[in-house]
Amino acid sequence: DSGVTQTPKHLITATGQRVTLRCSPRSGDLSVYWYQQSLDQGLQFLIQYYNGEERAKGNILERFSAQQFPDLHSELNLSSLELGDSALYFCASSSGGGSNTGELFFGEGSRLTVL
């Protein structure tokens, strides 16, 4: 158990809909990262938050947004869903967030299926 909690584990929805994925980092970790992993693909970095502020942005679509709350949990919002958004979405946390990221701990992921 990494200590990173993601909900929901599975989600099935229709095209055009909006969903929210939630992540609780390990106790004490200030950084939260979101990754997308499509079938048989590598992990694609979406966005990083550090102590409530956006720290780095990756290949995140404009239809997607995220935030980190004062209690350090994070939410990833996916809107106007398309079939191609079907993927595993992973959250990871680390204690650092600056130029030297500490060890990364991943959650078990949220599997999104868009029909």
Q: Binding residues for other proteins, per CB under 8 A?
A: 2, 4, 33, 41-43, 45, 48, 55-59, 88, 90, 92, 99-101, 103-109, 111
Kindly tell me which of 13 and 45 has the beta carbon lying closer to other proteins.
45
Of 38, 73, 45, 74, residue with least CA distance to 60:
45
Kindly tell me which of 15 and 24 has the beta carbon lying closer to other proteins.
24
The least distance separating other proteins from the CB of residue 57, rounded to whole angstroms, comes to: 7
- CA Rg, the chain, in Å? 13
Beta strands in 1-115 (DSSP E): 5-7, 10-13, 19-24, 31-37, 44-50, 53-57, 64-68, 74-78, 87-94, 105-106, 110-114
Kindly tell me which of 48 and 81 has the beta carbon lying closer to other proteins.
48
The least distance separating other proteins from the CB of residue 29, rounded to whole angstroms, comes to: 14
